[in-house]
Amino acid sequence: MKGIRLLISLVWTILAFGLFAPAGLGQETPAASSTVTPGGMPLPATPAANATTPAAPPKADPLHLTIGLEGRQGTGDVSVAVQIVILMTLLTLAPSIVLLMTSFTRIVIVLGFVRTALGVPSAPSNQIIVGLSLFLTFFLMGPVFDRMNTEAIQPYLAGKMTSVEALDKASVPLKEFMLKQTRTRELEYFLELGGFGPTAVKDLSMRVIVPAYIVSELQTSFQMGFLLFLPFLVIDFLVSSVLMALGMMMMPPVAVSLPFKLLLFVLVDGWHLVVRYLVQSFTG
């Protein structure tokens, strides 16, 4: 009897402990649960979802384009995209640069005056006038272009300077060329017009130099054109006077004076004198 009572007491103790024990006591939590294989061998416990695991890395930002002042070597150079934009802009402005910032302006205007003074508006043709002016411009601007290539382009291609520094270096020879042909009065006018104070010559910006140079070139070319007209104008007066003295009122003076103008121009080697005078006006 004592054994039966002892067994019943043990069973009730186990049941009472199982029924009234805390809910978490004796139960396997998901954090530390284990799996038993069919053979009875437990598998390692799997970590719980709410266990202290390393935080997942934050999602990367979406791809975006950044245009900055940093080159491939990090030397403060502009990016390749910006360099392409600058190059395309310079190519677009190249005709204006050649026409207005070199010796082309003066040469083409003076050669046009020569053709008009001779009285032959179609000989030489516009293509010949422009072509001759262009090649004379390349000849006169050769030393300037060589300096720009030596001081700016080659160091930039060798990676010794940034594109911004190369542009600053390349503008120096061109500024010096334009300043030699620019009148001081024009520089002072555009300085005053732009609201600049007293400025040293080396500190003048292209914003002031370019318009002052263009106005000076126009004035110089028209002065040279006036001097070219004088000998041919004398021939026109003489021919007109002779025709009036002979009573040939109906005879056009131009038809008679044109051969004499051409003869005079050929005898004095006019094209050589005009070209030499033009070249000396820049180099003198």
What string of pLDDT tens digits covers the 284 residues of the chain?
445 555 455 445 544 444 444 444 444 444 444 444 444 444 444 444 444 555 555 555 555 545 444 444 444 555 667 667 777 776 777 777 778 888 898 999 999 999 888 888 777 888 999 999 999 998 998 888 888 888 888 888 888 888 778 888 888 888 888 999 899 898 888 888 888 877 787 778 888 888 999 999 999 999 998 998 888 888 888 888 888 888 777 777 777 888 888 888 888 888 899 999 888 888 86
From residue 35, alpha-carbon distances to 24, 47, 182, 243 in Å are 19, 12, 95, 130
Given 3-state DSSP classes, what are the helix, strand and coil percentages for the chain, each rounded to the nearest 5? 65, 0, 35
In which region does residue 42 sit, left (phi positive, over 0), alpha (psi from -120 to 50) or beta (all else)? beta
- Which tokens belong to 269? 């080697």
Q: For the whole model, what pTM was predicted?
A: 0.65
